Protein backbone atom coordinates (compact mmCIF):
# COMPACT_ATOMS: atom_id res chain seq x y z
CA UNK A 1 0.00 0.00 0.00
CA UNK A 2 1.42 3.34 -1.07
CA UNK A 3 2.25 6.14 1.32
CA UNK A 4 2.26 9.81 0.36
CA UNK A 5 3.91 12.39 2.62
CA UNK A 6 2.05 15.67 1.99
CA UNK A 7 3.44 18.90 3.45
CA UNK A 8 1.71 22.28 3.19
CA UNK A 9 3.31 25.48 4.45
CA UNK A 10 1.31 28.46 3.17
CA UNK A 11 0.03 30.83 5.85
CA UNK A 12 -3.17 31.19 3.80
CA UNK A 13 -5.98 28.64 4.08
CA UNK A 14 -7.57 26.44 1.42
CA UNK A 15 -8.34 28.14 -1.94
CA UNK A 16 -6.83 31.44 -0.72
CA UNK A 17 -3.50 29.67 -1.13
CA UNK A 18 -2.19 28.85 -4.61
CA UNK A 19 0.10 26.12 -3.34
CA UNK A 20 -2.64 24.47 -1.24
CA UNK A 21 -4.96 24.47 -4.28
CA UNK A 22 -2.33 22.69 -6.35
CA UNK A 23 -1.28 20.19 -3.66
CA UNK A 24 -4.99 19.44 -3.10
CA UNK A 25 -5.41 18.66 -6.82
CA UNK A 26 -2.37 16.38 -6.70
CA UNK A 27 -3.56 14.63 -3.58
CA UNK A 28 -7.11 14.12 -4.89
CA UNK A 29 -5.80 12.33 -7.98
CA UNK A 30 -3.27 10.37 -5.94
CA UNK A 31 -5.95 9.18 -3.51
CA UNK A 32 -8.24 8.14 -6.38
CA UNK A 33 -5.45 5.82 -7.56
CA UNK A 34 -4.60 4.56 -4.06
CA UNK A 35 -7.94 4.09 -2.35
CA UNK A 36 -6.42 2.03 0.45
CA UNK A 37 -3.17 4.00 0.64
CA UNK A 38 -1.91 6.21 3.45
CA UNK A 39 -1.40 9.97 3.40
CA UNK A 40 0.78 11.44 6.12
CA UNK A 41 -0.22 15.09 6.30
CA UNK A 42 1.70 17.95 7.87
CA UNK A 43 0.37 21.49 7.81
CA UNK A 44 3.43 23.41 8.93
CA UNK A 45 1.53 26.72 9.15
CA UNK A 46 -1.22 25.34 11.41
CA UNK A 47 1.11 23.10 13.41
CA UNK A 48 4.69 24.34 13.14
CA UNK A 49 7.34 21.89 14.19
CA UNK A 50 9.98 23.05 16.67
CA UNK A 51 13.16 24.60 15.40
CA UNK A 52 16.20 22.38 15.74
CA UNK A 53 17.96 22.68 19.11
CA UNK A 54 21.53 21.85 20.15
CA UNK A 55 20.28 18.69 21.89
CA UNK A 56 18.21 17.56 18.90
CA UNK A 57 21.11 18.21 16.55
CA UNK A 58 23.89 16.59 18.59
CA UNK A 59 21.69 13.58 19.43
CA UNK A 60 21.75 12.74 15.72
CA UNK A 61 25.47 12.06 15.99
CA UNK A 62 25.35 10.00 19.20
CA UNK A 63 24.20 6.38 19.62
CA UNK A 64 20.95 5.98 21.63
CA UNK A 65 22.92 4.73 24.69
CA UNK A 66 25.29 7.72 24.57
CA UNK A 67 22.48 10.30 24.60
CA UNK A 68 21.63 12.37 27.65
CA UNK A 69 17.94 12.32 28.70
CA UNK A 70 17.61 15.81 27.16
CA UNK A 71 19.09 14.62 23.86
CA UNK A 72 16.82 11.55 23.79
CA UNK A 73 13.73 13.64 24.40
CA UNK A 74 14.73 16.21 21.80
CA UNK A 75 15.60 13.57 19.21
CA UNK A 76 12.24 11.76 19.51
CA UNK A 77 10.43 14.46 17.54
CA UNK A 78 13.16 14.42 14.87
CA UNK A 79 12.95 10.66 14.60
CA UNK A 80 9.21 10.86 13.88
CA UNK A 81 9.77 13.35 11.05
CA UNK A 82 12.65 11.34 9.59
CA UNK A 83 10.63 8.11 9.70
CA UNK A 84 7.75 9.81 7.89
CA UNK A 85 10.12 10.73 5.07
CA UNK A 86 11.65 7.24 5.00
CA UNK A 87 8.21 5.55 4.94
CA UNK A 88 6.96 7.66 2.04
CA UNK A 89 6.73 6.23 -1.47
CA UNK A 90 6.26 9.79 -2.74
CA UNK A 91 6.52 13.25 -1.22
CA UNK A 92 4.47 16.36 -2.03
CA UNK A 93 5.72 19.70 -0.68
CA UNK A 94 4.18 23.17 -0.94
CA UNK A 95 6.92 25.79 -0.93
CA UNK A 96 5.43 29.27 -1.39
CA UNK A 97 8.02 31.99 -1.93
CA UNK A 98 8.45 34.18 1.14
CA UNK A 99 10.97 36.96 0.71
CA UNK A 100 12.67 35.11 -2.13
CA UNK A 101 13.10 31.90 -0.15
CA UNK A 102 11.03 29.18 1.54
CA UNK A 103 8.79 29.67 4.62
CA UNK A 104 10.73 29.36 7.86
CA UNK A 105 8.38 26.54 8.92
CA UNK A 106 9.52 24.48 5.95
CA UNK A 107 13.15 25.28 6.75
CA UNK A 108 12.54 24.00 10.30
CA UNK A 109 11.23 20.73 8.84
CA UNK A 110 14.34 20.40 6.66
CA UNK A 111 16.67 21.15 9.59
CA UNK A 112 15.00 18.30 11.48
CA UNK A 113 14.99 15.65 8.75
CA UNK A 114 18.44 16.33 7.30
CA UNK A 115 20.77 14.03 9.21
CA UNK A 116 24.23 13.22 7.88
CA UNK A 117 24.84 9.47 7.97
CA UNK A 118 21.13 8.70 7.66
CA UNK A 119 18.98 10.85 5.35
CA UNK A 120 22.09 12.51 3.90
CA UNK A 121 25.62 11.32 3.16
CA UNK A 122 26.89 8.34 1.15
CA UNK A 123 23.65 6.34 1.11
CA UNK A 124 20.73 8.67 1.89
CA UNK A 125 17.88 6.62 3.37
CA UNK A 126 15.17 8.12 1.15
CA UNK A 127 17.33 8.08 -1.98
CA UNK A 128 15.29 7.99 -5.18
CA UNK A 129 11.92 8.79 -3.57
CA UNK A 130 10.00 11.06 -5.93
CA UNK A 131 9.22 14.53 -4.56
CA UNK A 132 6.96 17.10 -6.22
CA UNK A 133 7.42 20.68 -4.99
CA UNK A 134 4.74 23.29 -5.62
CA UNK A 135 6.75 26.53 -5.70
CA UNK A 136 4.09 29.26 -5.83
CA UNK A 137 5.10 32.90 -5.98
CA UNK A 138 3.49 36.32 -6.30
CA UNK A 139 5.82 37.45 -9.10
CA UNK A 140 7.85 35.72 -11.76
CA UNK A 141 11.48 34.67 -11.43
CA UNK A 142 11.56 32.66 -14.64
CA UNK A 143 14.73 32.67 -16.77
CA UNK A 144 15.06 36.00 -18.57
CA UNK A 145 12.89 37.98 -16.09
CA UNK A 146 14.42 40.97 -14.22
CA UNK A 147 14.22 39.14 -10.85
CA UNK A 148 15.66 35.83 -12.05
CA UNK A 149 18.68 36.12 -9.74
CA UNK A 150 16.40 36.58 -6.67
CA UNK A 151 15.07 33.03 -6.98
CA UNK A 152 16.20 31.13 -3.87
CA UNK A 153 13.37 28.59 -3.64
CA UNK A 154 14.08 26.25 -6.51
CA UNK A 155 17.86 26.77 -6.29
CA UNK A 156 17.85 26.02 -2.59
CA UNK A 157 15.45 23.08 -2.68
CA UNK A 158 17.38 21.54 -5.54
CA UNK A 159 20.54 21.62 -3.40
CA UNK A 160 18.77 20.15 -0.37
CA UNK A 161 16.16 17.75 -1.74
CA UNK A 162 18.08 16.51 -4.77
CA UNK A 163 21.72 17.26 -3.96
CA UNK A 164 21.61 16.22 -0.30
CA UNK A 165 18.61 13.96 0.42
CA UNK A 166 18.98 12.42 -3.08
CA UNK A 167 15.25 12.59 -3.79
CA UNK A 168 13.94 12.50 -7.35
CA UNK A 169 12.81 16.13 -7.66
CA UNK A 170 10.17 17.75 -9.82
CA UNK A 171 8.75 21.30 -9.59
CA UNK A 172 5.36 22.81 -10.35
CA UNK A 173 5.56 26.64 -10.41
CA UNK A 174 2.33 28.65 -10.19
CA UNK A 175 3.60 32.21 -10.66
CA UNK A 176 2.30 35.79 -10.77
CA UNK A 177 -0.30 34.93 -8.12
CA UNK A 178 -0.37 38.58 -7.00
CA UNK A 179 -1.54 39.79 -10.40
CA UNK A 180 -5.28 39.78 -9.53
CA UNK A 181 -4.63 41.71 -6.28
CA UNK A 182 -1.99 44.20 -7.37
CA UNK A 183 -3.26 46.90 -9.78
CA UNK A 184 0.26 47.46 -11.13
CA UNK A 185 0.26 43.83 -12.31
CA UNK A 186 -3.18 43.87 -13.96
CA UNK A 187 -1.80 43.28 -17.46
CA UNK A 188 -0.23 40.06 -16.14
CA UNK A 189 -3.58 38.52 -15.12
CA UNK A 190 -3.87 36.36 -18.28
CA UNK A 191 -0.37 34.97 -17.63
CA UNK A 192 -1.28 34.30 -14.01
CA UNK A 193 -4.45 32.47 -15.08
CA UNK A 194 -2.55 30.38 -17.62
CA UNK A 195 0.10 29.54 -15.02
CA UNK A 196 -2.54 28.49 -12.49
CA UNK A 197 -4.34 26.30 -15.03
CA UNK A 198 -1.05 24.71 -16.12
CA UNK A 199 -0.06 24.05 -12.50
CA UNK A 200 -3.38 22.31 -11.76
CA UNK A 201 -3.05 20.19 -14.89
CA UNK A 202 0.55 19.31 -14.07
CA UNK A 203 -0.47 18.33 -10.54
CA UNK A 204 -3.09 15.91 -11.86
CA UNK A 205 -0.75 14.48 -14.51
CA UNK A 206 2.18 14.05 -12.11
CA UNK A 207 -0.03 12.47 -9.45
CA UNK A 208 -1.28 9.90 -11.98
CA UNK A 209 2.21 9.22 -13.28
CA UNK A 210 3.68 8.79 -9.80
CA UNK A 211 0.75 6.70 -8.57
CA UNK A 212 1.37 4.31 -11.48
CA UNK A 213 5.14 4.32 -10.93
CA UNK A 214 4.79 3.57 -7.23
CA UNK A 215 2.21 0.82 -7.83
CA UNK A 216 4.37 -0.86 -10.51
C1 LIG B 1 5.62 36.76 4.06
C2 LIG B 1 5.45 36.76 2.57
C3 LIG B 1 6.52 37.06 1.76
C4 LIG B 1 6.40 37.02 0.37
N5 LIG B 1 7.48 37.27 -0.41
C6 LIG B 1 7.38 37.15 -1.75
C7 LIG B 1 8.52 37.33 -2.60
O8 LIG B 1 9.63 37.54 -2.15
N9 LIG B 1 8.36 37.19 -3.92
C10 LIG B 1 7.14 36.91 -4.49
O11 LIG B 1 7.07 36.79 -5.71
N12 LIG B 1 6.05 36.74 -3.72
C13 LIG B 1 6.14 36.84 -2.38
N14 LIG B 1 5.04 36.65 -1.58
C15 LIG B 1 3.78 36.28 -2.24
C16 LIG B 1 3.59 34.77 -2.25
O17 LIG B 1 4.70 34.12 -2.85
C18 LIG B 1 2.33 34.45 -3.02
O19 LIG B 1 1.23 34.93 -2.22
C20 LIG B 1 2.16 32.98 -3.32
O21 LIG B 1 0.89 32.80 -3.91
C22 LIG B 1 2.34 32.17 -2.06
O23 LIG B 1 1.78 30.88 -2.17
P24 LIG B 1 0.40 30.59 -1.44
O25 LIG B 1 -0.66 31.31 -2.26
O26 LIG B 1 0.26 29.13 -1.46
O27 LIG B 1 0.46 31.15 -0.05
C28 LIG B 1 5.14 36.70 -0.20
C29 LIG B 1 4.05 36.39 0.62
C30 LIG B 1 4.20 36.42 2.00
C31 LIG B 1 3.02 36.05 2.86
**Global pTM exceeds 0.85:** yes
pLDDT in tens, 93-112: 999 999 999 999 999 999 99
What is the average pLDDT across 154-177?
A: 98
From residue 154, how far is each of 39, 94, 117, 149, 158 by CA, in Å? 25, 12, 25, 11, 6
pLDDT level of residue 216 (50, 70, 90 thresholds): low
pLDDT of residue 70: 96
Please state, rounded to an integer, the average pLDDT across all residues of the chain.
96
Ligand 1 in reach of 102 Cβ (< 6 A) = no
| Whole-number pLDDT of residue 168 | 98
Cα–Cα distance measured from residue 193 to residue 73, given in angstroms and rounded to the nearest whole number: 47
The pLDDT assigned to 34 comes to 84
What distance in angstroms lies between residue 110's CA and the mean position of ligand 1's atoms? Answer: 20
Is the model's pLDDT at 56 over the cut of 70?
Answer: yes
Can you tell me the mean pLDDT for 26-53? 95
Confidence of residue 14 (pLDDT cuts 50, 70, 90): very high
Is the distance from the beta carbon of residue 65 to the nearest atom of ligand 1 less than 6 Å? no
Residue 43 is inside which H or E element, if any? strand 38-43
User: Counting atoms of ligand 1 from 1, which one is nearest the CA of 10?
Assistant: 27
- Report whether 14 contacts 20 (CB < 8 A): yes
- Residue 128: domain span: 3-215
Please give the number of the atom of ligand 1 that sits closest to the Cα of 20: 26
Structurally, the chain folds into a number of domains equal to 1
C-alpha distances in Å from residue 190, one per residue of 121, 135, 193, 195: 44, 19, 5, 9
Pairing of strands 90-94, 38-43: unpaired
Q: According to the model, what pLDDT value does residue 110 have? A: 98
User: What integer pLDDT is reported at residue 21 of this predicted model?
Assistant: 98
Residue of 16, 23, 138 to mutate, ligand 1, most atoms within 8 A of C-beta: 138
> Which has the minimum average pLDDT: 31-40, 48-57, 147-156?
31-40
61 in ligand 1 pocket by Cβ < 6 Å? Answer: no
pLDDT band at residue 1 under the 50/70/90 scheme: confident
pLDDT at 215: 75
98 lines ligand 1 (CB under 6 A): yes
Domain CATH for 198: 3.40.50.360
Amino acid sequence: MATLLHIDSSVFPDEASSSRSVTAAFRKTWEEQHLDGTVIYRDLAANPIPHITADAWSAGYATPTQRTPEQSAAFAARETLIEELERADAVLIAAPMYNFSIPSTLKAWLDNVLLLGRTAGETPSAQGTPVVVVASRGGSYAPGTPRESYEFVQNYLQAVLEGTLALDLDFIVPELTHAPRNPSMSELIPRYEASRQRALEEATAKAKELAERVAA
